[in-house]
Structure 1
């Protein structure tokens, strides 16, 4: 039940918001249990088969956290972290590593085909963040209901943004200005829906046939459309989802952290990762890069930490060597950025933007391609070496021009919720009108979100 499905827009979403408003007005003490119950119901609606695993992981991690708080035994946390990562590896990577072993040995090694539980990468990272922060003394104590809501809060359980307990748990007991937040949240939700349905899905319709036939070769213009179109499709699909998640949370009185800050305006690769999937970047920095040594133990250690962090970040996105290659490419680029800065060199902002944008867009090719052969075919097509005859999508460029203009100069989620000053009724009316129009434009707006698969 994605946010852009009619079932959510017309049934679950309004029901959840109505029950929450009634609870806040009549029985505020029931707010956390209600939100936790709604979140588990939402997850079960997506895939009820994975609900027992989510519930078991919530119970086990909370119990270990409580045991650590009372005993101070770090071994408990270490064992629980190993179990969390082991379950993630079992469901997400068992087949991947089995394939690598079989390719290396030719022994016919195989693994059972397990169904990937929805959102397992995100809720596993939530568990890790809580337990590590608890050991560091920065996570607040939580009841089991609090912890269940922290992990499974329905606006963000499927695809983030990632949050820390210390930044979200205090908001459950606060009393924010509901009417103002609801109006702003509804406007932000509608804006995210527009980004997803009009631009994300519109670009997908134009370029998906190109990617499907990329293995047979693409003409240069078709290859350019496939590459540039996917860069914008992914951005508007994922940032659109995030805007909808942030908007929903605001309507429930919760401020989730910003996850995108105009990433295609970045003037360096480091700047890009401060703008793209910000909460994941912070997670990778705090829970991988710094523990690997960061910049505290010399240049060689720093370069190795960057490469290892980003390679693992690529693997987190998907169980495939193409994702590993994408992550490693970004790790190498970040390492070169460090060397460039240490040498005292600098590019003018325009040149930095061109270089960064070109690298990021080209690096998305293995991220999107099902295999290296397809990625190579796309690169060859860009150079005019593909020998392909696949025609370009006729309606692509006007949509791409609109996408580019909005990505490079359009408002961010922060702009919409903080700088744009609309009265509550006007914001709500605008959002409702836009949502109604989007249902028509988007053909019921029922396309899946890209990041739901991760």
Structure 2
């Protein structure tokens, strides 16, 4: 079920919160098991066939953990990580590799139209983080229920944030509603939920109408005007930000309702003054994962400039492939890899770049590469790039008013996380949020019940 749906907001969430509160009050020893059960119900709501895969994934990785602690042979953890990646590849990348093989003359590889299990990339990366730290001696053993909740916790199982075991496992042992700040946490959780819903329903979804039509037009091979191309490119830049950061705000808010603090994932990324700064602000938990579990493993910046640049390029290219099984995603990741490499070389010159110029160059790069991310083919992307740079009719339907307010919010900030933790409690705020929530619920009942962009990854 979607966070932005009546069944979740008006049925599942209040029932789950009430059940959790009762269990926490009268049978706290059942609390984690109840959260696991609620998470499996939430996950199975999409497609009950995915639940056995989730349970098998949890069970097998937990058994690997137990086996490694009993007999720490060096090959067991790499084998388990390889098996996790193999399962991910079978569901997500099999047809992508088949298409690559089919590029060879005289070769036609068959497609297997398997349904992609939601959240498989995210829970696979959670397994990898834990197993890697276990092998390095940084992670302790956990019981099956705790480990299952770490993997399957419903606010973050579908689209993150990517949570390290060290950030959340210790919270499982707390009595969240016995804390002196329990009501404050619940209040801030509700605010984050409403703010995230507002981003999704009131900002992101309206942008999708003008964005999707233009990208579909380009995909069909039709001529896109310059005005349409800029409208769609700038629109998608804002749409994906409000869509994904809105989901994250909701995930963080819902987790707070159940007494768990998840890590922040966005920090006003469109104010970044360099590409490195952008990736420290955008999908921050993925950036940390790529840095700590891939870039450093490939050598990082410890073995000379050439290897550093190669590791950086490979990391971002693989990061692009993680986002989607398509060459346009690979190209998007590779472009960001080249951009980050250019940043490394620039910093080595010791020269200073004015912040305004750095912001302008960074935003131009980010906006233009979003075309590769959104386009369904290189042909569609090329058609849009031609239109963006004047190789198409000018057009006259640039709707700047629809972009102005979202752009101002995205650029001026601050992040929802900062705002929520600075707002003082007041009746006026409570009434305002209640009214806003009511408007959103009515809007959802009207026409706003769109899936989140990152669900496809």
Same fold, TM-score > 0.5, yes or no: yes
1:186 aligns with: 190
Runs of 5+ in structure 2 lacking a partner?
Answer: none
Alignment counterpart, residue 261 of structure 1, candidates 256, 262, 267: 267
1:358 aligns with: 364
Structure 2 contact 96–326 (Cα < 8 Å) conserved: yes
174-183 vs 426-435, which moves further: 426-435
How far apart are the structure 2 equivalents of 1:413 and 1:298? 39
Secondary structure at 1:326 match in 2 = helix
Task: State whether structure 2 residue 433 is matched by structure 1 residue 431.
Answer: yes
Summarize deviations over 1:88-121 as a string: whole Å, max 9, x none.
Answer: 1111111001111111233122232111111110
How far apart are the structure 1 equivalents of 2:92 and 2:394? 35
Structure 1 contact 92–319 (Cα < 8 Å) conserved: yes
Cα deviation for residue 174 of structure 1 reads 1.5
Structure 1 contact 168–254 (Cα < 8 Å) conserved: yes
1:251 aligns with: 257
How far apart are the structure 1 equivalents of 2:413 and 2:431? 22
Alignment counterpart, residue 311 of structure 1, candidates 296, 317, 330: 317
Task: State whether structure 2 residue 90 is matched by structure 1 residue 95.
Answer: no
1:148 aligns with: 148
Secondary structure at 2:47 match in 1 = helix
Cα deviation for residue 444 of structure 1 reads 5.5
Task: State whether structure 2 residue 205 is matched by structure 1 residue 201.
Answer: yes
Task: State whether structure 2 residue 341 is matched by structure 1 residue 338.
Answer: no
Secondary structure at 1:48 match in 2 = coil
Structure 1 contact 258–413 (Cα < 8 Å) conserved: no
Cα deviation for residue 71 of structure 1 reads 1.6
Cα deviation for residue 399 of structure 1 reads 2.3
TM score, norm. by length of structure 1: 0.96
RMSD, matched Cα: 1.4
2:217 aligns with: 213
Structure 2 contact 249–417 (Cα < 8 Å) conserved: no
How far apart are the structure 2 equivalents of 1:268 and 1:133? 31
Structure 1 contact 199–399 (Cα < 8 Å) conserved: no
1:419 aligns with: 422
Matches within 5 A, 1:5-16: 5-16=5-16
Matches within 5 A, 1:116-195: 116-175=116-175, 176=179, 177-195=181-199
Cα deviation for residue 431 of structure 1 reads 3.0
Structure 2 contact 185–259 (Cα < 8 Å) conserved: yes
How far apart are the structure 2 equivalents of 1:65 and 1:453? 29
How far apart are the structure 2 equivalents of 1:437 and 1:77? 50
Structure 1 contact 6–444 (Cα < 8 Å) conserved: no
Runs of 5+ in structure 1 lacking a partner?
Answer: none
Structure 1 contact 185–247 (Cα < 8 Å) conserved: yes
Structure 1 contact 2–8 (Cα < 8 Å) conserved: yes
398-407 vs 176-185, which moves further: 176-185
How far apart are the structure 1 equivalents of 2:182 and 2:432? 18
1:276 aligns with: 282
How far apart are the structure 2 equivalents of 1:101 and 1:130? 33
Secondary structure at 2:161 match in 1 = coil
222-231 vs 17-26, which moves further: 17-26
How far apart are the structure 1 equivalents of 2:127 and 2:431? 39
56-65 vs 13-22, which moves further: 13-22
Cα deviation for residue 133 of structure 1 reads 1.1
Task: State whether structure 2 residue 66 is matched by structure 1 residue 66.
Answer: yes
TM score, norm. by length of structure 2: 0.96
How far apart are the structure 2 equivalents of 1:431 and 1:65? 45
414-423 vs 115-124, which moves further: 414-423
Cα deviation for residue 427 of structure 1 reads 5.1
